Each structure stands twice: as C-alpha cells, then as structure tokens.
Amino acid sequence: MLKKMLWLGLGAFMAMLLIVGGLIGGKISEDGSNVKLAILQVFASPVEPSLASTTMVLEDNLYICGNIEELSKKPLSAYNISTEKEIREKFSGPGISVDIRQDEILVQRKINDFCSYHKDFRHLGIYDNKLAIYQGPVGYNQKLIKVEQNLPLEKLSASFQVKLQQSMNFFQMTPETQANIRYELEFSNEDRLNAVLENLDEMH
C-alpha cells in the first residue's frame, strides 16, 4: 500500500514538472519569437534616402505685394542635414513652405508686410463709404492707414467715386484701367499723397 502511494506521489510530481517545464518553455519560445520579430521589423523598416549634398537650398521671403526677396542660396551640406524629414523639421513654422524639387529645395516664408520698395507706397480707396488711405501699391488693401472722416463719398465727384471703386477691385479691371488708376490713385510716398489730398476739390 505504501509502495503504491509512493508511486502515485512520484507520478504527480513528474506531471507537475512537465507542466511547469511546458509553461517555461512556452514563455521562452514566446519571448524568443518577440525578439526575432523585433529584429525583423528593424531590418524591414524603410531607410529614408539621403538627398545629394550639392542640392541647393533657396530661402526667400514672399511679401503681401507679391514681391520675393532672396535671403540665401546654399548647398544642403551647409545645414548638416540630408533627408527630407530633417529638412522639413528644420524649416517649420507658421507661414513657411518647403518645396523639394529635383535639384533644389525652395524654402519660402510668407511675410505679412510690404517689401522695402513698396513699404512707403500709399494709395486711395474706400472704407465705410469714406475716402481712405492704404499702405502699399494700389490693389493691396490689407493695411488701412487712415479714413478721411470729412470726405464721405457723396462729397466727391461721381467720376472720382468710380475710380475709387475701381481701386478697391483693381485686379478685376482691364490693363488700361489699371494703368490709369495707378497714375491717379497710387503714390510712391506720403508727400505726393498729401499734395493730392490738398487739391482734391480742384482736381475732381
């Protein structure tokens, strides 16, 4: 009887060893599979190709008036970067665009201002049914400088009112009309503008 009990106990112990061994073996096998999978994923990951170090990077500013100012022109090697991802990370931010072309990269910043040439320009237009003065060349009405409160449209001649309306819709006008509007309502500085304002009643 005792001998039988010993054999039963030994059998149960062996069965337990087999179960534990299977669990451990399965865990090792599972961990090994995960390691193999991770290694395969690393090798399978696509490597981003590098751009030629001689690729030229052009940086410029784009102003409200449409003029472009070139800031720099350097080879890609000057920036110590080589991939498209690195380029887009380096040149990022509000108003910045990156255009990667075959043999050059254009980095352009939109500037909410006029270029140095057009900064002093002024032109006449309309605001709240009154004569208004805008910064920049005619056709660009983003920056209102002054509203002539004492000069509502009804005090101006009909022909001058038409010209002011054409100024506010400048890019819808014919080339001939645009040339006339530039001649009469666009000024390269405030001195010329003030002279016109002083003689406005006589001119119109």
> SS3 for 120?
coil
In this structure, the answer to whether residues 83 and 63 fall within a common structural domain is yes
Domain annotation covers residue 181? yes
Average pLDDT in the 10-36 region?
Answer: 48
In this structure, the answer to whether residues 130 and 104 fall within a common structural domain is no
In this structure, the answer to whether residues 102 and 127 fall within a common structural domain is no
pTM of the model: 0.70
In this structure, the answer to whether residues 66 and 89 fall within a common structural domain is yes
Domain annotation covers residue 85? yes
- Cβ neighbours for 91, distance < 8 A, ≥ 6 positions apart: 59, 98, 107
Average pLDDT in the 20-28 region?
Answer: 44
In which domain, by residue range, is 61 found?
Answer: 56-110
Q: How many angstroms separate the most distant Cα atoms in the chain? A: 135
Domain annotation covers residue 42? no
In this structure, the answer to whether residues 73 and 127 fall within a common structural domain is no
In this structure, the answer to whether residues 90 and 141 fall within a common structural domain is no
Q: What is the pLDDT of residue 46?
A: 60
Q: What is the pLDDT of residue 102?
A: 84
In this structure, the answer to whether residues 171 and 192 fall within a common structural domain is yes
